[in-house]
A and B are shown apart, each in its own frame.
Chain A
């Protein structure tokens, strides 16, 4: 049976009580464990019978993981290899000095600070 047929198996005896559309709509609630027990059971029964929805769920989870993995070392330029050996981005010294100067000016304007 192809995955398409499998997904449509409701016509052939594997009746889905929730549709693929509902799986997509309630994915966030499922992952956040906000579905009540009967709904969660139905959701998981659908997943057992529907590989395309499992692939969708896996891709959704992978998207979250990929976003985190790709932004953790944020602002890292695109460059080859030696990821672990790349020095951390230096703090912007010009900005630090600008902040310190602005704070001195602010303190002079209001000595109570």
Chain B
């Protein structure tokens, strides 16, 4: 659990900055009851905290770790950490934001540890091969065509949604995590940089390459152009 200690300052300040998103209105009554119950040591408040937040937290852990058992483990670790460190939760922050940072940070730590043990997975794509190529004079080697299907058409098909998720999972972890945090979890560049221990510039470069690689992969695998 020692790995959690260093993030409390981070999650406190970031939680606070996200709390005013709903026009500065007071916390929802359920959230207030949970917070008051947690501070009073009420077991039922902890159970409500778990039941209200476990779904999205498990989803983000699963996105990052790609493994149910690891996601379960990290979510459990995250809730226990939140229980032990609830004193550090600031009342002006959203519980959802605070818990999200705890679980994301724990999942990233797990990912770093498992990567150093196991190396890269076999079905991961080479991002550099999926980036657009240019001649010396700056002209593209391949002239891009418009996509023949709209996002709405694509996203309504369950099979396509599953294919898209699988293609995201094929990106190398250092690109995949940036894409998940920026484009799915919608964290900003500085939050992402802090969680991943990278510079903001590196986050931007990786996000751009991840999107470019995924764009190419989607176009090719889903046959999105008339020439496909």
Chain A contacts to B: CB under 8 angstroms:
3-4, 7-8, 19-22, 24, 27-29, 52-53, 55-56, 58-60, 62-71, 73-80, 83, 88-89, 91-92, 95-96, 98-100, 102-104, 106-107, 113
Q: Quick check: which of B17-25, B101-109, B139-147 contacts chain A, the rest being far away?
A: B139-147
Judge whether B110 is part of the interface by a CB distance below 8 angstroms.
Answer: no
The reply to whether B137 and A19 form a contact with Cβ atoms under 8 Å apart is: yes
Secondary structure dominating the interface of B: helix
Nearest residue (CB) in B for A101 is B76
The reply to whether A59 and B144 form a contact with Cβ atoms under 8 Å apart is: yes
Judge whether B3 is part of the interface by a CB distance below 8 angstroms.
Answer: no
A55 to B226, CA, bound (A): 13
Q: State whether A56 and B139 are in contact (beta carbons under 8 Å apart), knowing that A74-B63, A96-B50 are contacts in the complex.
A: no
Chain B contacts to A: CB under 8 angstroms:
43, 46-47, 50-51, 54-55, 58-59, 62-63, 72, 75-76, 79-80, 83-84, 132, 134, 137-140, 143-147, 151, 154-156, 158-162, 164-165, 168, 179, 183-184, 204, 207-208, 211-212, 214-215, 218-219, 224
A80 to B219, CA, bound (A): 23
28 A-B contacts (beta carbon < 8 Å): A7-B139, A19-B134, A21-B140, A24-B212, A28-B204, A28-B208, A52-B140, A52-B143, A52-B145, A53-B144, A59-B147, A59-B224, A60-B212, A64-B211, A66-B218, A67-B214, A69-B154, A70-B154, A73-B161, A74-B63, A76-B158, A78-B159, A78-B161, A89-B55, A91-B55, A95-B72, A99-B50, A104-B43
The reply to whether B211 and A100 form a contact with Cβ atoms under 8 Å apart is: no
